[in-house]
Structure 1
């Protein structure tokens, strides 16, 4: 608080005036008293008291007189001249050891007004005052019974007094010139410093705004790998609440999967990061060295981005490329298989009516018929993958489709050891093809059933959330390993002894064709949950 108080120029001058008055006049009063000059000592103490009183009045009235600052400064200088004159008169006039006080007044006048003209004029004024003191020949009676100062005017001035007055005037002018020069230099230095501080603040604000505006996270490290600064986007990407969660922490503790040495050498690296909420995101890092003014390395700068969406798009692109190749193959294959299958199907029907009705013949015909149906289903799956899915032009109620599919599935699977629970919100609509969506749900139910080896549970949930419809299909089956979970939507990928590996591929294509998305959460021996998100539409949607 005190440091803030003395930050003002006027307050500093008041403090300096009090310190000089107390030390100089106080010590002088003691010296005069010890040399038997009691009256001089008392006059000096009186001057000290007046200085303190005037300073106190100034500090009390300062808030209300700030708008008259120049006038108040002039009043202060006037009282300083009067008090200094009294001290000089009391202590011997032209022979006083305190004549230098006039020079001090000239110096701090320059500091306050920063004007050489004012200081030159004041120098002449002080010289005139000094000349008047010389002319008046002040004399203090040496009687201990009187404390009066008597002035004896004389028109005659001795040569020594005149010379002293001349040299004092020269000293005042020299002090005025020197203090004016120094004051001007100080003023220019303050201006340059102010401009430098302003430019520095502009650069600092520009730097902060650039870091705040970046869409990338920026982290700076010292040479030991300790985080020393972060920008706003770093906290957003990492889902953190404050800088303190990152600052002064070893980079390896926060990003255990990051290899700093490898990043510095290769300049780029990707890691998988888990946020506080448990969400996994892919971070892409780039790095550069942090150099000081002497061009020596002082640390490292890490720039990172959330590449999760880009990674998903890359995976989708790779999957699309696979499907494109598969589509070309499947299109030709489906076309070539349909005609032979039709011929084989017709031949089986003819044989079934002409061969002997024995149990063996009937069993063989049934096997052939079942395999024909299986081949037709495979060809149908190929057709779905190769042909674009047409969007329906009307909304369908998800709750109706799910309930119908669950009822049919429960009757078809013939497994009493599997319970199917449902928690389905009614009258939630999406825009899609009823048959395709029903087929997708069937594939997911079938996938859940095949993952359960004994007693188990399949739970189906459906609810609306803002402008989306969420469908969750969970099971208590064997789960999917982290190694395989990224491949389950790849064509022909399967961990089962039978199956084409096209079921989940078809489900993904159907859902995404209607602007939806499908996610999976799974762990070995803990079951699997498929989460489908689709756009919610009103019942009047077209």
Structure 2
């Protein structure tokens, strides 16, 4: 027991003292027999003397070994306590670092369970760290984050964070748009330990984007109001002049017919300007449904033929017989009508108007091309701006409306044109589900 309290030297000294005391008792029993207290035991034999020395030596050896073991035990205990203190310090340091980061931080183990969540992460996700730790990550951000695909991307490019955006639902039901940046968490020997996700709340960014879009729309509407007044003034002047001429008794039958044509043409122009303006300024919500693309294109071409085509203009269709796609049929028909009308007006002396549809993966491409006059290179960057037109009397809203319709479908518009060689417009529409 002394070895647990005394240092090694003290244990050896105590053992030596005990050995000496033992030897003294043996010697005293022989040389100075205490006959008054003990019964004489006779002379001490050589075997007893040898046993005495063996016992004393064993006592010292045991003391040395036990003292060494006790010293090692104390050193191990001190080392363990030091490691525990270092671990507590490291945990405190980690907590300070995690909570001082402005972005949300989530640490996941290899089974995608949450092992750490900082204060910013608590504020973004609505979860307390104590409640989140140990739960699957999908409990915090739902099923919209492809963690397996992210891990595969990080395995292929370990040093490049993988990002994704999703909308998570907090425990109180509020929805928050977030951006997540994932990095691989690995041990010193390269073993995967899980993932670290940096979570950024995009609510303010989305609100700012909405405000910018609203400001842009108001500014555009202001410019449109000024331009629409200018655009309406010209056909109104023509209408007024034609109607006044028709009211004169001196107007002949031939004059009346010509003036009536002017009234009809300018009325159609006015209607087109106002319709395009209203459709651009107050876009209707998308009502997607399954559309037969070939049938929709054919409807547009039939309307175009009834309107009247220049002599020598040829219509070419390159459409799959059974192509179904989810889109808003009314808005898609309007976009194709505007493109076809522009193409016909670009070929007053005839030419070829070609409409084609192809599917590439989960993307539909609709192409409208003509062999008309083309567009100058200086005008190409402006063709989708409201009220920009290269045609005399054009409203400048046709292509702007096309671009808005396609963008609302989540797609893109590409336009290629060369002066004298015609124009090709390609609408790219992604697949819509649900």
The TM-score normalised by the length of structure 2 is 0.49
TM-score calculated relative to the size of structure 1: 0.41
Flag the structure with larger Rg: 1
Instruction: Pick 1 or 2: higher relative contact order, CA cutoff 8 A, min separation 6.
Output: 2
